[in-house]
Each structure stands twice: as C-alpha cells, then as structure tokens.
Chain A
Amino acid sequence: MTQQERLHRQDPKRSEPIRNLTGFLRNSHSWGENPPGEEPGKTEPQGSSEKLDDVLTHGVHLGYKIIEEQISQGQRVAQRLRKRYPPMGDREGDGGGEIDALISRLLGLTKDMGTLWFDSMEMVLKTPRLLRGLAGGEEQGEVGIASNLAETHISIEIASSKRAQVSLNLPSRPQRYIPLVHALYATNPAFPPLTGISFRHCTGSPHPILQVEIPDHQPASTYTGVVADGETNEPVGTLVVRVLA
C-alpha cells in the first residue's frame, strides 16, 4: 500500500489540546440546540459512545446553569432581607436587631408549619441564654479580634500598613498544645499566601501571642487557613485574615 492509498484523518484545526471546560461545554448540541438538519425535539437513537459523551456534557452543563441560577436567586433574596433587617452593626442600640428579625422570621415559619413548631419556637424566645447572647452579641467581635479570645487567652499583634481584620477560632485552650499556622490562602490562586503568621510565648505569661505580618504588596482579599497542633499537625482551629483595600 502506498502512502497515498492510506486512509488518514484530516489534521485538526486546533494547534493544541482544548482543555478549557467552557469550550468543552459549548461544543455540545445536546441541550436544546439541535444540530443542523435534525428534527427539533428528537435525538439520535442511544448507544454510540459519541452520543453518551454528549449526554454527560449535557448533564454537567445543565447542572451549572441550574445551580448558578439558584445561587443568584439566593443572593437576591439575601439582599432583599438585608434591607428589611439591617445587620447588627448597622443599627443603634443594643445590637440585637439582626437576631430579633431572625427570631421573628422563625416564628413566622413555625406558625406556618403548625402548632407543634409554634410552641417550640416560643420556647426558644423564652430561653434566657439565647436572649442574653443575642442582646449582648456574645460572639464574634466587629474588627480585629476574634470571637473566643477571652476564652483562649491569646493576644494578637498585627504588623500591617493596610487595614485588616483577624478572626481566630480555637475551640480548645492552647495551653495543651503549641499552635501552628502554615499559611493562609485567598480564593484567588494568583494571590500569594500569607506566610508571616506565627505564635510565640512571652516570658512570664502562659498565654501565647499570635503575630500576623501582612506585606505591603499583599492584595486585598480574605485569607483562610487551619491552625494546627505544632506537635501532631492535627487541625485544632481556623484563622481568617481579611486584608481590606
């Protein structure tokens, strides 16, 4: 057989593999855009692998479409509710507005769902600990200091030319271990991780100090990471640093 007689495929137009998911999805004809010449509403008989690949693509494409719509809807609802029920920091007084609104909505829900739920939610309202906590904003400081520092006795030192918020969550007391943070990461992989995070002990004090160094060029973003036990490397808490623009 000569070279000319051999069957061969045409060279593809692309110059390199297309591994982009968007391009992969866009090439499918299987979600309502029938290929040219095909009867609308009818598809080919099942069975060929090519058709099944289209089916798989169709499912994933549809899935992303539905879920992005759902998330957008959720964001719109959240914005609407935020306008009706401003968050705690936006209100004067005792700072319990957000929770008041939440409880009102819960009550509305339970009334809708019947007397059993209603009775139980009335009980929530009468729970002194809940009401105490709601009125006082027992958890989560506004800026800079994390929720349970009083419990865990950790001081924070921040070296930064930018405004930053630090939230540390350590459910157990660190006297039992030496805390360690490897690095904090932003959701954008292009942003460099925050690596200048360390815990140190001061002479004369049993409680550690968390040192956070933020370089001047650090992009504004939320950086998160795990606080680990320095000996076992088991996760014991989380650390969030928000670098503000």
Chain B
Amino acid sequence: MSHPSREQVVRTSPLIPKLLEEYGTLTRKAMMHYLPSGAPQRYLYDLIADYPLRGGKMMRSSLCIATARIFGAKLEDAMGSAVAIELLHNALLIHDDIEDDSEERRGRPTLHMLHGVPLALNAGDSLCLLALRPLMDNMNRIGPRLAAKIFEETERMAWESAEGQAMELGWCRDNCNGLSDEDYLTMVLKKTCWLAMIYPSRVGAMIGARDGVDLDQFIRFGFFLGASFQIQDDLLNFVADSRYGKELHGDIWEGKRTLMLNHVYRESSAEEQARLAEILGLPRQQRHPEQIHWVRRLMDTYGSLDYASKIAHGLAGAALHEFHGIYADLPDSRDKQFIEGLATWVFERT
C-alpha cells in the first residue's frame, strides 16, 4: 500500500510555502483588525478568534491574492476579499466540527468540545457575519460595482457549499451506501471546491481583470484542484502524524462517505457489505475501535487507498491542464508559479 507517507520525494517548489507564508501573514494581520474585542469577551470574542489564531495553511486567501496579482491587481485590492475568505472558512469549520461531531481541529480540541455546542454555534454565526465587513469595505477600495459582483459570487459559493454539506450529512444520516464516484465528486465540488479553490480564483480574477476574463474556466481549474486536494486530505486521515492535526481514522469514525469508503463498499462481498452497513449505521459513540480497524483492513484488502490516490493524481493532472489553458499566455511571475505549483503541493503538504 503506497498511502501518503513522510518518505515521499518532495517535488514542490520552495516558492509554495514561501508565498503561503508571505500572503498568509499579511492576510492574518489584516484579519486581526476585523476581530472584535470587549464584552462578552470570554463567551464570544475569544471564541471567534480561536480558530483564526490556530494558524492554518491560508491557501484559499493566498490563491485569491496570487490570481488577482497575475491579472494585474495590486495586493491591497485583493486583501479585503482574502480576509473575507479566511473568516468564512473558519466560520464553516466551526459549523462542520459541530455537524460532524469532530474532536480535534488543527491539533487542538474543537471549539464545541472546549465550550459546548451553543456557544460554538453562536461564534460560528458571528464569524460568518464578520466576513461581510471586509466585503463591504471592498466598496471603498475597488468600487461598488465590483464589490457588489463579489457579493453575488459569495452568495453562489455559500449556496454551493451548503448544498454539498447537506449531501454529505444526509448520506451519513440515512446510512447511504454503495455511492458512486460521481456522487462523491459532485458532493466535493460543492462542499469543498467552491470555497477552497473556485471562489478564491474567480474573485481574484474579477479583481485583477474586471470583465476581461471568462470566469467559467476557473470553475474547471478550481474543481480539479479542489477535488484532488480533498481526496488527498481524506487520505491523510489514514496517516498517524500529529502534524496533520486530525484524528487518525477520524473519517471512518464519523462514517464519512469518502472515495475510499464508497470504493470498499462497492468491492466488498455481500456479507462484508452487510457488516459495513451495520457499522456505518451506528452512531459514532457506539462504534468500537475493532470495527474501525476492520474497515481499515478491508480497505487495504481491496486497494481502496491506492484507488483514491490514483484518482487524486489524475485530477491534479487535469488541474494542471486547465491551468495552462488559463495562464499560458500571461507573463511568468512568482504568483503564476505559485498557482501552478499548488497541483503538486496538494500531495506533499503537511
């Protein structure tokens, strides 16, 4: 089994972590200005600041800034949107953790584990609200018409994300099994790709090129990059490494319909399928470690991790193909190299 390991040869240009650090630091600094303080500090504002202060890759905001700069915008023109992206991302993480009953986030207990569901939920709502402020500040920086268009883009992204999340949660609730790869990729397109890749790319291009670029091509690029990113993220869930900040086999514990879980179900015998359905039908708290290990062994038997890894690599290749379609005629730059490098960085990130 060749699941992701620390022995992988690193091919990603050092530019990727460098620009992530550079743009991430600037975005985080700008984001801090939007985090309120005062009463009720310990019930709200401390909670709002918790996830943003834990770090994170800052990939989404960096992608937005880099895209905007490639198309000629100044970094400052993209900063409001970059901050909004990170605030929305952190807001959705809080909600996701509650919905999935996750225990860890970025190496620490999740917000609702620390403070309870009601306070965490309220903090997530407030972060969502907070994301509107930099979008409104865009009006002064890049003009009301473009700011309004970005609002419209945000509306679409929010709906797509909500639909994708609903699909995944519904599958878990109804114990849907035998889902196809098409089902999975459609869900990932909505749940992950829009916020992680498509929205930052499109907003960046809108800021940089105004009306001078076809935005549909960023849906293709963002989907392929985002889907390979999500599958790799799911695969990292099978690696016991604290650097990933996620619980080992957490997705199996949560019964998430990943590409690997759908594959192993489809490949299993009728008897194995019945046992899988029984385990996945239990609430998380009633699942036992030996059941989780059995599912994992079954995945090894049927090569489900290799299968998913192959698909992730294929999708990353398609992302590179789409990248060249968009950017080939634009001058070479650090930002262009950065976006191109994301396709390989997806597989080597920690």
Q: Is B truly associated with A?
A: yes
- In chain B, positions 174-216 with a C-beta closer than 8 Å to chain A are 181-182, 185-186, 189, 208-214, 216
Binary flags per residue of A93-130, CB closer than 8 Å to B gives 1, else 0: 00000010011011001000110110011011001011
Q: Does residue B241 face the partner (Cβ distance < 8 Å to A)?
A: no
Binary flags per residue of A216-229, CB closer than 8 Å to B gives 1, else 0: 00000010111110
Q: Does residue A89 face the partner (Cβ distance < 8 Å to B)?
A: no
Interface size counted on chain B using CB atoms at 8 A: 62
List of A residues within 8 angstroms of B155 by Cβ = 105-106, 109
Given known pairs A58-B311, A70-B219, the reply for A133 and B143 (CB within 8 Å) is yes
List of A residues within 8 angstroms of B148 by Cβ = 99, 102-103, 130, 134
A65 to B317, CA, bound (A): 16
- In chain A, positions 46-70 with a C-beta closer than 8 Å to chain B are 46-47, 52, 55-60, 62-67, 70
A109 and B158 form a contact (CB under 8 A) = yes
A238 and B311 form a contact (CB under 8 A) = no
Binary flags per residue of B318-348, CB closer than 8 Å to A gives 1, else 0: 1000000000011101000000000000000
List of A residues within 8 angstroms of B208 by Cβ = 238
Interface size counted on chain A using CB atoms at 8 A: 67
Q: Does residue A175 face the partner (Cβ distance < 8 Å to B)?
A: no
B72 and A238 form a contact (CB under 8 A) = yes
Q: Distance (Å) between the CB of A115 and the closest chain B CB? A: 10
List of B residues within 8 angstroms of A113 by Cβ = 128, 158
Q: Does residue B48 face the partner (Cβ distance < 8 Å to A)?
A: no
A59 and B310 form a contact (CB under 8 A) = yes
Q: Distance (Å) between the CB of A70 and the closest chain B CB? A: 6
List of B residues within 8 angstroms of A226 by Cβ = 71-72, 330-331
B317 and A127 form a contact (CB under 8 A) = no
Q: Does residue A169 face the partner (Cβ distance < 8 Å to B)?
A: yes
Q: Which of A43, A62, A130 contacts B267 (CB 8 A)?
A: A43
List of A residues within 8 angstroms of B181 by Cβ = 58-59, 62
Q: Does residue B240 face the partner (Cβ distance < 8 Å to A)?
A: no
List of B residues within 8 angstroms of A236 by Cβ = 72
Residue of A nearest to B303 (CB): A46
A201 to B158, CA, bound (A): 47
- In chain B, positions 101-155 with a C-beta closer than 8 Å to chain A are 125-126, 128-129, 132, 136, 139-140, 143-148, 151-152, 155
Q: Which of A59, A70, A239 contacts B311 (CB 8 A)?
A: A59
B interface with A by C-beta (< 8 Å)? 69-74, 77, 125-126, 128-129, 132, 136, 139-140, 143-148, 151-152, 155, 158-159, 181-182, 185-186, 189, 208-214, 216, 219-220, 223-224, 227, 266-267, 302-303, 306-307, 310-315, 317-318, 329-331, 333
The 3 closest A-B pairs by CB, nearest first: A46-B303, A133-B144, A240-B212
- New A-B contacts (18) at CB < 8 Å, excluding given A58-B181, A66-B189, A240-B210: A45-B302, A58-B314, A59-B315, A60-B315, A60-B318, A66-B186, A67-B223, A102-B152, A103-B148, A113-B158, A116-B125, A116-B129, A124-B151, A137-B145, A227-B72, A238-B208, A238-B209, A238-B212
Could you show 23 A-B contacts with beta carbons less than 8 Å apart?
A46-B307, A56-B311, A56-B314, A56-B317, A58-B311, A58-B314, A59-B310, A60-B315, A67-B189, A102-B152, A106-B151, A106-B152, A109-B159, A116-B126, A120-B132, A167-B212, A171-B77, A182-B331, A185-B329, A226-B72, A235-B70, A235-B331, A238-B72
